Amino acid sequence: MASAVTPPPRAVPARARRRTGATPRRLPYLLIAPAGLLMLGFIAYPVLSVFYYSLQHYNPTKPWRNGFAGLDNFTRIFTDDPHFWGTLSFSLKWVVVEVTLQLLFGLALALIVNQTFVGRALGRALVFSPWAVSGVLTSAIWVLLYNSQTGISRYLADLGLGSYGTSWLSDTATVFPAAIVADLWRGVPFFAILILADLQSVPKDLYEAAEVDGAGRIRQFVHITLPHIRDAIVLSTLLRAVWEFNNVDLLYTLTGGGPAGETTTLPLYIAHTSVDAHNFGYASALTTVAFVILLFCSMVYLRLSKFGGDGK
Amino acid sequence: MTAESTLSAAPAAPTTAPQDAPPPGTTPPAPARGRRRAWDEVPRWQIYLPLGIYLLFTLVPFYWILLFALRPAGSTSLVPWPMTSAHFEKVWNERSFGVFFQNSLLIGVAVLVMTTVVALAGGYALARFDFRIKKGFMLALLCSQFVPGALLLVPLFQIFAELRMINSLGSVIIAETVFQLPLSMILISGFIRNVPYSLEEAAWVDGCNRFHAFRIVVLPLLRPGLVAVGSFAFVHAWNHFLFALMFLSSQDKQTIPVGLNTLMGADSVDLGALAAGGVIAAVPVVVVFAFIQKWLVTGFSAGAVKG
């Protein structure tokens, strides 16, 4: 409600509307300078240096091989890397499944808590609460739930469901859904919050008018709600997809990319290449490729979804 | 009915995910005499049933971690009784979570202050002035959303090594702040734009200079927005893991998420200690969340996200 609470406007003398001459032309530049400098130094410069290193052989543990590499790193990625295509396709699978499920459950949840009912404030607070939980804490919680000795599977087995000693995180058949559910737990509230914010801005008289015209709730949803929240959905799915692609906290701590590399995303692979194998040059080339893929997919997505269209 | 049909057709998530939740907001079309109905009148069970199922999915994991943190080691009881504080004492003292907690708190507060102040200045410029590089700057802010901090670990490490800031909390504070800035600035400039310029102009007429007018007229109106932005910054800094893992090497500089990761990585995981550590990690975030919860939705709907 930040700004809705404005005091009643005071009578403003007409001449006050003119800008006071007291504003030096440099003021806006001074104001954005701290942010601008920080971003130049710690975002722009690192990005450029990643591009630079992608063309180098650079490995601090093997200094005798360092030097200009041309496109060697890139040819190796596409032709001679046993992990690149696998981790990339796992990344895409992870992002698509996560974002789709988070959107659907988040939308459903937002529609529910947008209704008027007894206990709504508490319900909202509880439903949104995992939003604030970190990836590492999420991992810790789900490690407790999934562990084979005292996890949830033990109690399910007590009830005759499944068998004792099941460890969902170390079985290649179950690790993917297990990780997906853990991340859903934390991710759904993000969508629910954003969509709920937008739902509240749909003018109520639109629904009343539709009601008068005899439109049922399904048709109201399709013809009023959906078009109204479309931009918010497009934007939040895009932000979330980028975020899910880049985020390594959860998988790093929950599965460590295992078992048998089964859940290694491209960024996780890059982190291993640079941090553990110290192969900075090659990791930079991988990073560059990841950038380009992200940028390309984002543009295609925005184009396809006609973001901001419809006379906005 | 795209949303609902896809919802039930979605690849069913295992365990407690609410696959069979009746889709919200869809009953059979209203009966013929639906005219009298208020637009939002939905049968109660269609609200409480799916909500209840989803709440189960949300709350069982929270309960689980509390259960493990409070019941004695080796117990398999499903209620944390008899209760013990042994796990907490162990984690806080032996596993240095007391130190980690201080470090995380320091980082979180510093990031909160820096982000809010810097983003406030920048956001004001974006909201109130037209200047030559404004469009380019806005574009840079949006683009930076696509830059993954995790992929910049190596160059950032090199920069901080150059600045001799490796293994100092300052490196993590700067890195977290920088990645928090763009979105914070976009949000804050949206909040400022919603405060009528005429209010400030009136204050100038009354003899205030620009800064003074901003402080007494605009700032009080921005408070809810600033609380939201500051809380996001704090929560992110508190939660974030990779920068601390990479830039802080000695034990006495580590943060809570790194400590949790260490507990999980141990050869035989001490589940009680892990759960107690998790509860400690959750406490400040839960407090902040309870505090900002009511602004969370409205803060976003101030139109800022849509730019």
Is the pLDDT score of A11 beyond 70?
no
Whether pLDDT at B40 is above 70: no
Question: How high is the pLDDT of residue B211?
Answer: 87
**CA separation, residue B236 to residues B239, B241, B251 (Å):** 5, 9, 22
Cβ distance of B146 and A2 shorter than 8 Å: no
Best mutation target, A40, A61, A97, A112, to test chain B (most B CBs within 10 A): A112
- The amino acid that residue B110 corresponds to is A
Q: Do A143 and B78 touch (CB under 8 A)?
A: no
Asked whether this complex has an ipTM greater than 0.85, the answer is no
Size of interface A-B (CB pairs under 8 A): 380
The model's confidence at residue A296, banded by pLDDT at 50, 70 and 90, is confident
Mean pLDDT of B111-134: 92
Which of A71-80, A268-277, B19-28, B145-154 shows the lowest mean pLDDT across its residues? B19-28
Q: What is the pLDDT of residues A186-197, one digit of tens each?
A: 999 988 888 888
- A57 phi and psi angles, rounded to 5 deg: -85, 120
- Other CB atoms within 10 Å distance of the CB of residue B270: 17
**With 60 as the cut, is the pLDDT of residue B27 above it?**
no
First-residue to last-residue Cα distance in chain A: 24
Q: What is the pLDDT of residue B22?
A: 44
Q: Rounded to whole angstroms, how far apart are CA atoms A297 and A291?
A: 10
Question: What is the model's pLDDT at position A243?
Answer: 86
Chain A touched by B8 (CB under 8 Å): no
Looking only at the bridges linking them, the beta strands covering A56-57 and A67-68 are: antiparallel
Which positions 138-197 of B are in contact with A (Cβ < 8 Å)? 140, 144-156, 158-159, 174-175, 177-179, 181-182, 185, 191, 194-196
User: Which region holds residue A174: left if phi is over 0, alpha if psi is between -120 and 50, else beta?
Assistant: alpha
pLDDT at A184 over 90: yes
Per-residue tokens: B3: 């949303």
Domains and CATH numbers, chain B: 38-84 (no CATH), 102-301 (1.10.3720.10)
- How large is the average pLDDT for residues A11-36? 67
3-state secondary structure A259-290: CCCCCCCHHHHHHHHHHHCCCHHHHHHHHHHH
Tell me how far apart the alpha carbons of residues B265 and A253 are, in angstroms, rounded to a whole number.
Answer: 8
Provide mean pLDDT across the span B73-93. 82
The arithmetic mean of pLDDT across residues B15-38, rounded, is: 44
- Does the pLDDT value for residue A285 go beyond 80? yes
pLDDT digits (tens, 9 = 90+) for B150-199: 778 888 888 998 899 888 899 999 999 999 899 899 888 888 888 888 88
Answer yes or no: do A133 and B239 touch at CB < 8 A: yes
Q: Which of A99, A141, A226, A247 to mutate to test the interface with B (most CBs of B within 10 A)?
A: A141
- Give the CATH fold of the A91-278 domain: MetI-like fold (1.10.3720)
With beta carbons under 8 A apart, name residues in chain B contacting A116: 40
Band (B298; pLDDT cuts 50, 70, 90): low
Euclidean distance between CA atoms B35 and B211, whole angstroms:
55
CA gap B90, A10 in Å, rounded? 61
Instruction: Please judge whether A147 and B222 are an interchain contact, meaning their C-beta atoms are less than 8 angstroms apart.
Output: no
Contact at CB, B202 and A207, closer than 8 angstroms? no
Interface of B with A in 55-84 (CB under 8 A): 55, 57-62, 64-65, 68, 76, 78
Highest mean pLDDT among A266-275, B59-68, B286-295: B59-68
Q: Which residues of B touch A249 (CB under 8 A)?
A: 240-242, 257
pLDDT given for residue B26 in this prediction: 47
Q: Are A87 and A290 in contact (CB under 8 A)?
A: no
Q: What pairs with residue A56 in β-bridges?
A: A68
- Indicate the average pLDDT of chain A: 82
* B29-65 burial code (b ≥16 CB/10 A, e <16): ebeeeeeeeebeebeeebbbbbbebbbebbebbbebb
* Contact in structure between A138 and A119 (CB atoms under 8 Å): no
Q: What is the pLDDT of residue B216?
A: 87
Cβ burial, residue A79 (10 Å; 0-12/13-18/19+)? exposed
Residue B73 CA to residue B273 CA, distance in Å, equals 9
Res. B29: pLDDT tops 80: no
pLDDT given at position B191: 85
Q: Which residues lie closer than 8 Å to B206 by C-beta, 6 or more apart?
A: none
Q: What is the pLDDT of residue B35?
A: 44
Cα dihedral sign, B247-B250-B256-B258:
positive
Query: What's the pLDDT at A161?
Result: 74
CB neighbour list of residue A282: distance below 8 Å, 6 or more residues apart: A73, A76, A77, A273
Which residues does chain A have within 8 Å of residue B27's beta carbon, measured at their own beta carbons?
217
Q: Do B177 and A38 touch (CB under 8 A)?
A: yes
Average pLDDT over residues A132-143: 88
Distance between CA B100 and CA A50 in Å, rounded? Answer: 32
Q: What is the pLDDT of residue B9?
A: 34
pLDDT at B32 over 80: no
Q: Where does the pLDDT of residue A94 fall: very low under 50, low under 70, confident under 90, or very high at 90 and above?
A: very high
User: Span A124-130, mean pLDDT?
Assistant: 86
Bigger pLDDT: A38 vs B140? A38
DSSP letters spanning B34-52: GGGS-TT---HHHHHHHHH
Confidence of residue A309 (pLDDT cuts 50, 70, 90): low
Mean pLDDT of B20-47: 55
**pLDDT, greater one: A20 or B138:** B138
pLDDT of residue B267: 67
- Whether the bond between B82 and the residue before it is cis, its omega within 30 degrees of 0, is yes
Rounded Cα distance, A277 and A61, in Å: 9
pTM for the structure as a whole: 0.79
CA distance B134 to B157: 30
Asked if the Cβ–Cβ distance from A3 to B154 is below 8 Å, we say no
What is the spatial distance between Cα A52 and Cα B152, in angstroms, rounded to a whole number?
Answer: 13
pLDDT score, position B296: 66
Residue A301 has what pLDDT? 84
The residue assigned the tokens 């990585």 is B265
